[in-house]
Structures are given as C-alpha cells and as structure tokens.
Amino acid sequence: MKKKVSYIALIICTLAVALFWDNDIARTLLSFELLLVPCLFMLSVYLERNLSASLVVPDRYVPKGEKFEVDVHVSNASVLPMSTVPVTLLCHSRLSSRESAYTRDAFVTPGSGSSLCFYLRTGYCGKLYFNIGKVAVKDYLSLFTRECSVSEHSSSVFVLPRIHMLDMARVLGLSESVDGELFSKLRHGEDSSEVFDIRQYRRGDSLHSFHWKLSAKTNDFMVKEYSLPMNETAFIFADMSYKGTGDERVSVMDAFLEILGSVSWSMAAASMKHNVIWWDDKEKRVMSRFVASESDTYSMLEQLCESGIYEEPVDVGALYENREIAADSNTMRLGMDGCFYHNGVRVKHIDYDKVDEELTVWEI
C-alpha cells in the first residue's frame, strides 16, 4: 500500500511539473508513468497465471521435540524471474484447535522452481495438518499483488511420543519357551507344546491330557494343563474420556500417548501381538487396531489421535462386539487419569507430571 501511495505521489508531482513548465521531458515522463501502471498490472496477471505451488512433507512420522521439515515447492513457468513470492504455510492441530501461520519469501528463476524449507518443532505429540495458506506474486515495483490459486489438499505429520522399552513379559506374567514363544505363567490354555501345570484329575478332563507315567507312580489320575500362548490373546482398551480443555487437554493426551505407545511398542518388540480398542466419538463406534510390529504401533497411535478425546465416559469393553474375548485372555485398560489395569485389577497409577521417570523404572 505504501508503494502505491508513493507512486501516486510521484505521478502528481510529475503532473505538476508538466503543467507549470512547458517541458517535453516532463510530459514524456508523465506519459511513461501513466502507461507503466496498466503494464505492471498485466505483468502481475501474467506472472500469477504461470505460478504454482505444491506441498511436500518428507517424513510422516517425526519424534517429539526434534526439528522436522515441511517444504513448499514454487514453480515458475514464465520467461521472467519472480523476485519476491511470499508463501504462507498453515499448521493446524485438531487436538488444541489452534492454527499457526509461517511466511517466507521465495525467489523463483524463469522456467524452474524453488523449494522453501520450513523447519518446525513441537513439544507435544499428536497429529498436525499442513496446507498452503497463500502464495502471492508482485510486479517489479510491488504496486500489484495477486494471489496464486493453490490446492486445498493438506498433508499431515504425526509427532511420535517418547517410547520407553518396558519389560512387558514380566508385567503380564509370561515365560519364554525353548523355541522363543511366550506363554502365560498365570493362566492355562490349549497349547500342548508347553505344559502349564500338572494336577489331579477333575471330572470333565480330556483323556488326551492325562499324564500316564505320573499317574502310575502316584496311584492317582494326574492331568497336564497346557499353556496359553501370547499370539492374539492380549487386548488393550484405551479410555480417552476427559473433561479438560485447552492446554491441559493437550498435556494429558501427550502423556496418555506416551504411556500407551510405550506399552504397545514394547509388546510388539517382544512379539506379543495384541489388539488396541477405543471409542471414536466422531464416528460413534468402537475402533480396533491389530498390532504385530513396531510400525503398527505408530499407525495405531495416529488413528487413535484422529478419533480424539471425548467427555462422557464410555464402556469400550462392553461395546466391543467385533470379536469375542475369551475368559482367559490378557486384558489391559489405560485411562486418561493414568491408571493402568491388568485383567480388571489396577496395578499402576502413573503421575503425568513424572511420566518419563515412572516408565523408566516401571515395575509391576
């Protein structure tokens, strides 16, 4: 705006000189200044039509607290250089409902492109959405500014929580066989490859479970109880009901994801396949994600973040009907209050102000 005012003042001064002094140079200069205005306008239109921008996110998963990169690639298809192209990048967090804007200027040579690198950092984990807010081009005197049409397509980055390696085999009461498979030390199952316990015969026991040699020695019928393998027998219920707002909501969700991510990642690293189940208040349905690897944990956390926090408590276990949970299955539940339950018993309350300390020395 200042440059427009300055240019108008220049035209008025030139006009005054041309009126009071009969001088060809002044009249020529005035004509040039007046003709330059529509030329610069047409130039800005030409440059705007040959300008395009696209968003590039190199990494979809980034660690919390570390710098990550978001690029905006600006292309110039004209035969003229574009000296100052202001580009605005918008960042939106659904969890906090906040939007931040970052602006940088690009210089784009004719027939080529230029990449603007925005280096960002966040202290909270969660999903961030990026899109190009505005890309503008100016004429060479900056009298006219025209915004380039940009795609409304957005890209996202999931900021990962800190992951702690927990001894989940000890937490859940598991033992390892000679083949490296994990079995429950607390509950029996139907896997005959591993014996859980030997006990006296009870009515209804199968003949296949009889321990004949021991029965002959003790003169009493003895049967073998087989082990429960930890293949798909673990279920984690994530209760995301919370009535807080603002920064408190973001802080609590950050600690919740750090705990859940550490538990799930540690189980996957120990080859303990499990299902994570939660309530999606937007879709009004129970969500379930099967986790068999560390990468599955990251995908699960991202999907869980999209569901978001809800205020009214929901009994996720009672609503879960996609799969029958056997009575001898290992079930866990983590609430937004930091309470961790195993098979219905609260075994740990994690102080959200000391999450790193408590997860590092977590013993159950």
Neighbours of 363 (CB within 10 A): 8
The Cα-based distances of 256 to 18, 235, 263, 304 in angstroms read: 75, 17, 11, 11
| Domain carrying residue 21 | 2-48
Range of weakest confidence among 176-180, 270-274, 353-357: 176-180
pLDDT at res. 299: 92
Burial 20-56 (b: 16+ CB within 10 A, else e): eeeeeebbebbeebeebbeebeebbebbbebbbbbbe
Is the same domain home to 219 and 249?
A: no
* Structural domain contains residue 14: yes
* Residues 297 and 264: beta-carbon distance below 8 Å: yes
User: Based on the domain organization, do 136 and 80 belong to the same domain?
Assistant: yes
What CA–CA distance (Å, rounded) separates 253 from 247? 10
- 232-272, pLDDT tens digit by residue? 568 899 999 988 777 788 888 888 999 999 999 988 887 77
Same domain for 69 and 32: no
- Residue 83 sits in the same domain as residue 129: yes
Quick check: is 168 in a domain?
no
pLDDT at 192 over 50: no
Q: What is the pLDDT of residues 336-345, one digit of tens each?
A: 888 888 777 7
Digit-coded pLDDT (tens) for 216-228: 667 666 665 555 5
Residue 364: predicted pLDDT: 41
Residues 249 and 314 in one domain: yes
167: in domain:
no
Question: Which of 138, 160, 182 delimits the end of a domain?
Answer: 160
* pLDDT at 288 exceeding the cut of 60: yes
Q: How many domains does the chain contain in total?
A: 4
Q: Are residues 43 and 13 both part of a single domain?
A: yes
Q: Are 246 and 144 in the same domain?
A: no
**Which range has the worst mean pLDDT, 84-88, 229-233, 342-346?**
229-233
- Which of 114, 132, 160 corresponds to the end of one domain? 160
* Residue 169, domain member (yes or no): no
The answer on 67 and 146 residing in a single domain is yes
Domain assignment present for residue 208? The answer is: yes
Pairing assessment for the beta strands 174-176 and 68-76 based on DSSP bridges: unpaired
pTM across the whole model:
0.74
Q: How confident is the model at residue 308 (pLDDT cuts 50, 70, 90)?
A: confident
Question: Distances from the Cα of 265 to the Cαs of 88, 159, 216, 271, 363, in angstroms?
Answer: 37, 15, 47, 10, 17
Q: In the listed set 160, 191, 220, which residue is the last one of a domain according to the structure?
A: 160
pLDDT at 180: 46
Q: What number of CA atoms fall less than 13 Å from residue 307's CA on the CB side?
A: 26
| pLDDT tens figures, 13-53 | 888 887 887 778 888 888 888 899 899 999 999 999 999 89
Asked whether residue 86 falls in the same domain as residue 189, the answer is no
Q: How far apart (Å, rounded) are the C-alpha atoms in residues 131 and 15? A: 47
Q: Tell me what the mean pLDDT of segment 347-360 comes to.
A: 79
Do 37 and 75 fall into the same domain?
Answer: no
Check if the beta carbon of residue 113 is closer than 8 Å to that of residue 76.
yes
Mind listing the pLDDT tens digit for each residue in 59-73? Answer: 989 999 899 999 999
Is residue 293 a part of any domain in this protein?
A: yes
Query: pLDDT tens, 119-129?
Result: 999 888 889 99
* Same domain (yes/no): 197, 315: no
Question: For residues 67 and 225, what is the distance between their CA atoms, to the nearest angstrom?
Answer: 53
Report yes or no: 309 and 240 within 8 Å, Cβ to Cβ.
Answer: yes
> Does residue 263 lie within any of the structural domains?
yes
In terms of Cα–Cα distance, which of 147, 148, 137, 131 is closest to 72?
131
Whether residue 340 is contained in a domain is answered as yes
